[in-house]
């Protein structure tokens, strides 16, 4: 049996920080409203000239350095993103070109906030089917570029950033233990961008019925996590850390409670990073591994939900 071991991780956050109080100068909001409803205090924001590929490359460089991996060892690149540099070609091919890794598959995966978990399943399948031996999966977003800065219901929620992991083929039972992915397109109108190449030849801005998504989130995240655990024969008590998508502290807390996981076993970075969509889980993962909060051989339950709706979970031994 072949498994996908995590041999490297990294992340990158743009230098510029926008605090809640800075937002009160743009829209009719307050630090009190944002923090009490979401748990967010600040978000990192790119400069106009900084692209998603720039963030992805920096997160990849960090993982290569951390794991002492030469980029030439990588035989597949997957970038989970909703904010690619161009409509085409993929941001992944820009990363591939930057590192001069020739003749390997590179592609973007679009599943919005669930993109990183979808990408882990794809990477794991490539490794298990012996198509690849060493894959870098990057979640990278510049959501600030598609936020409607006049809409206080959404602009306070999002941030920019990138996180990455390197998966490597091994015969030892570790790494990706199981994944569960779901989608339900009937929720399209609850969370979408009102633009697209085919629709209106524009990029569009984020539109969300927050309460619709909120009501779905806790049940779907906890059910997906229970299904992924059951698939690999583990129980809630086996989990060292819950690493949920970082959209809202209230959703994170309720999901942990529903699963019966103590809050001190839950990773939360939403206060400092806000919602970075496909980058949120790898950012939380990498920053918690770097501080030593998450340790080697810990068993993690990752879970995410986003536009589509798409959602899913991955049980991961790091």
DSSP secondary structure code for residue 69 in this structure: -
Q: Judged by CB under 6 A, does residue 213 bind ligand UT7?
A: yes
Of the pair 88, 149, the CB lying nearest ligand UT7 is at 149
What angle do helix axes 52-67 and 91-98 make, rounded to 10 degrees? 50
| Interface pattern 181-210 for ligand UT7 (x via CB under 6 A) | -----------------------------x
Q: Catalytic annotation on 155?
A: no
* 260: alpha, beta or left? (left if phi > 0; alpha if psi -120 to 50): left
Cβ 222 to ligand UT7 shortest distance, Å:
14
Three-class SS state of 19: strand
Residue 65 bridge partners (DSSP): none
Part of the chain binding ligand UT7 (CB under 6 A), chosen from 31-39, 82-90, 121-129, 219-227: 31-39
Contact 106, 95 (CB under 8 A): yes
Pairing outcome for strands 310-317 and 299-306: antiparallel
Q: Catalytic annotation on 303?
A: no
Contact 27, 20 (CB under 8 A): no
Cβ 69 to ligand UT7 shortest distance, Å:
30
C-alpha 34/C-alpha 155 separation (Å) is: 11
Q: Catalytic annotation on 44?
A: no
Q: Judged by CB under 6 A, does residue 24 bind ligand UT7?
A: no
DSSP secondary structure code for residue 15 in this structure: S
Of the pair 145, 152, the CB lying nearest ligand UT7 is at 152
Of the pair 80, 113, the CB lying nearest ligand UT7 is at 113
Interface with ligand UT7 by CB under 6 A: which residues? 29, 33-34, 37-38, 113, 152-153, 156, 210-211, 213-214, 217, 247-248, 251, 275, 305-306
For the annotated catalytic residues, the residue numbers are 113, 245, 275
């Amino acid at each position: 049996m072949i498994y996908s071991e995590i041999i490297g991780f990294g992340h990158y956050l743009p230098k510029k920080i926008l605090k809640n109080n800075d937002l009160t100068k743009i829209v009719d909001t307050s630090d009190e409203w944002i923090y009490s409803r979401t748990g967010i205090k600040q978000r990192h924001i790119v400069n106009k000239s900084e692209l998603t590929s720039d963030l992805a490359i920096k997160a990849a460089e960090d993982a290569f350095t951390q794991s002492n991996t030469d980029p030439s060892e990588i035989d597949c690149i997957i970038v989970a993103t909703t904010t690619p540099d161009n409509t085409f070609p993929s941001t992944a091919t820009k990363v591939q070109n930057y590192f001069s890794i020739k003749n390997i598959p590179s592609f973007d995966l679009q599943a919005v906030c669930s993109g990183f978990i979808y990408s882990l399943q794809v990477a794991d399948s490539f490794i298990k089917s012996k198509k690849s031996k060493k894959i870098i999966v990057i979640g990278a977003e510049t959501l600030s570029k598609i936020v409607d800065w006049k809409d206080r219901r959404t602009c306070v929620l999002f941030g920019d950033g990138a996180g990455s992991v390197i998966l490597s083929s091994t015969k030892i039972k570790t790494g990706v233990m199981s994944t569960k992915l779901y989608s339900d397109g009937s929720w399209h109108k609850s969370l979408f961008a009102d633009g697209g190449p085919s629709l209106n030849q524009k990029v569009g801005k984020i539109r969300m019925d927050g309460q619709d998504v909120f009501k779905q989130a806790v049940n779907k995240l906890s059910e997906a996590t229970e299904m992924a655990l059951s698939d690999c024969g583990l129980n809630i008590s086996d989990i060292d850390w819950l690493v949920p998508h970082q959209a809202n502290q209230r959703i994170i807390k309720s999901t942990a409670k529903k699963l019966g996981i103590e809050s001190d076993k839950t990773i939360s970075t939403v206060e400092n990073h806000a919602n970075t969509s496909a980058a949120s889980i790898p950012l939380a993962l990498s920053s918690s591994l770097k501080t030593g909060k998450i340790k080697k051989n810990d068993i993690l339950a990752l879970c995410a939900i986003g536009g589509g709706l798409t959602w899913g979970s991955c049980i991961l031994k790091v």
